[in-house]
Amino acid sequence: MNRRAFKLWTVNVLSFIVFCLLSLTGLINWLLLPRGFEARGSFLVSMRHFLVEVHQWAALLFIVIIALHILWHWAYIKRNLSAHGILK
How far apart, in whole angstroms, are the C-alpha atoms of residue 26 and residue 80? 34
What is the pLDDT averaged over residues 56-70? 96
| Residues 47 and 34 sit within 8 Å (Cβ to Cβ) | no
Q: What is the pLDDT of residue 32?
A: 86
Regarding pTM above 0.85, the answer is: no
| Residues 4 and 68 sit within 8 Å (Cβ to Cβ) | no
Instruction: Give pLDDT tens digits for 26-54.
Output: 999 999 887 765 556 677 778 888 999 99
Instruction: Give pLDDT tens digits for 11-32.
Output: 999 999 999 999 999 999 999 8
Q: What is the pLDDT of residue 62?
A: 97
